[in-house]
Amino acid sequence: MGNHDLTIGMLARQAGVNVETVRYYQRRGLLPEPDKPLGGIRRYGAGEVARIKFVKRAQHMGFSLEEIAALLKLEDGTHCAEARAIAVEKLEEVRRRLEGLRDIEQRLRQLVSECGARRGNVRCPLIDSLRDK
């Protein structure tokens, strides 16, 4: 775990992101920037790979980088209530978005089917629904 032998390019490849993304995460404070040793080339280890993967997993759960920064501060696993609070908020947000998307799905499904069933020169139901009610 402590072997610091990766260059930033290797780190990026192992974590499945671009070098620029690694640097971006460093700037955002999601990834510590190791001290530059003599010569000027930094080395990274398994800890950094894991951290980037943590970020990517959290993104797939819908968290923003800002929220992920907060989660990373609780990474030792001893602040479960705080972590849970962040997840609860995200869950509520996800549910709101789900509701909105479900409405949209419904309306689109309805309109697509009406447009498909249209016969003769009836006006387009989709276009009509967008015009003044």
Query: Rounded to the nearest whole angstrom, what is the least distance from the CB of residue 17 to DNA in the complex?
Result: 6
Q: Which of 30, 23, 26 has the alpha carbon at shortest distance from 73?
A: 30
Contacts of 44 (CB under 8 A, 6+ apart): 4, 6, 7, 8, 10, 11, 34
Residue 38 touches DNA, criterion: CB under 7 A: yes
In the bound state with its own copies, the residue whose beta carbon lies nearer, of 38 and 81, is: 81
Asked if 102 is part of the footprint of its own copies (rule: CB under 8 A), the reply reads yes
61 vs 122, beta carbon nearer DNA: 61
Q: Name which of residues 22 to 51 contact its own copies (CB under 8 A).
A: 50
In 33-124, which ranges are E strands?
none
Task: Determine which residue in the list 45, 47, 54, 65 makes contact with DNA, applying CB under 7 A.
Answer: 65
Give the type of residue at 13: R
- Pick the stretch among 59-67, 88-96, 100-108, 116-124 that binds DNA (CB under 7 A): 59-67
Residues in Cβ contact with 11 at an 8 Å cutoff, skipping those fewer than 6 apart: 22, 44, 48, 49, 52
Count Cα atoms within 13 angstroms, Cβ side, for 58.
22
Binding interface with its own copies (CB under 8 A) = 50, 53-54, 57-58, 60-62, 71, 74-75, 77-81, 83-84, 87-88, 90-91, 94-95, 97-98, 101-102, 104-105, 107-109, 111-112, 115-116, 118, 121, 123-132
